[in-house]
Copies of this chain bind each other. A is one copy, B any other.
Amino acid sequence: MVKTTIRVIYGDTDQMGVVYYANYLRFFESGRNEFLRDKGAQYRDVEASHRVHLPVVEAQVTYKRPARYDDLLIIETILAKRGRASARFEYRVLRQDEVLATGHTIHACVDFNGKVQALPPALVEALGG
Q: Count A-side interface residues using an 8 Å CB cutoff.
A: 36
Most buried by B among A10, A18, A60: A10
B70 near A62 with CB under 8 A, answer no
**Given A7-B30, A9-B26, A15-B14: A60 touches B63 (CB 8 Å cut-off):** no
Chain B, Cβ-Cβ closest to A114: B66
**Given A11-B26, A15-B14: A70 touches B42 (CB 8 Å cut-off):** yes
> Pick the contact of A13 from B7, B15, B55, B59 — CB < 8 Å?
B15
**Chain A residues proximal to chain B, CB less than 8 Å:** 7, 9-11, 13-18, 20-23, 25-26, 29-30, 33, 42-44, 53, 55-63, 66, 69-70, 105
